Amino acid sequence: MNAVSGQVPCEWTLVAAVANGGVIGKGGALPWKLSRDLRRFKTMTMGHCLLMGRKTFESIGRPLPGRQTIVLSRSGFPGAPQGVTVVSDLSEVQRHVQPERRVMVVGGSQIYRATLGWCREIWLTRVLADVDGDVLFPDIDWDRWKMESSESFEAGPRDDWPTEFQVWKRKANH
């Protein structure tokens, strides 16, 4: 949040899949297989800019095709592959974003926590299951957010769990 004006400084969108109890990861990876959600993720992020933490980038292992990749790393991430922009401070991100691309914050937990104040939308996949994990989505004051839509999906043949896809928008003056 911009401390001077109280306004959210950017129009970023946070994209996350969260199981019961806030679980989002285990052992440096996703603790589920959700083919439907991956397809949705691909469609929704195509052509845009993915902003992620160094650990999440390493779990994916490569820049995703058709999208710009910006990785946040305080240590500079010397092993970053070509095609990845490494940025050490959030305030530097926006100037690296290529024209016409929307910034999508895609995790992990540290990056969700750090960028929440910069986001106007949350695209949330609720994973309707108790899943074992060691990385949690940050606590969010949902009173500051309004759910615009919600859609339920049974688990398909290549999904571990049923899901609910929700779009949340930040309320005015929050």
Site string for ligand NAP, 110-129 (x = CB under 6 A): xx--x---------------
Q: How many other C-beta atoms lie within 10 A of the C-beta of residue 171? A: 10
Contact positions with ligand NAP (CB under 6 A) in 77-96: 77, 88-90
Q: Does 135 bind ligand NAP (CB under 6 A)?
A: yes
Q: Are 20 and 50 in contact (CB under 8 A)?
A: no
Q: Exposed e or buried b for every residue in 114-136, given b needs 16+ CB within 10 A? A: ebbebbebbbbbbbbeebebebb
- Alpha carbon distance 147, 150 (integer Å): 7
Using the rule CB under 6 A, give the single segment among 3-11, 46-54, 147-155, 158-166 that binds ligand NAP: 46-54
Task: Single out the residue of 12, 13, 14, 24 in contact with ligand NAP (rule: CB under 6 A).
Answer: 24
Q: How many other C-beta atoms lie within 10 A of the C-beta of residue 159? A: 18
Number of residues that bind ligand NAP (CB under 6 A): 29
**Contacts with ligand NAP, residue ranges (CB under 6 A):** 16-17, 24-25, 28-30, 52-56, 59, 72-75, 77, 88-90, 106-111, 114, 135
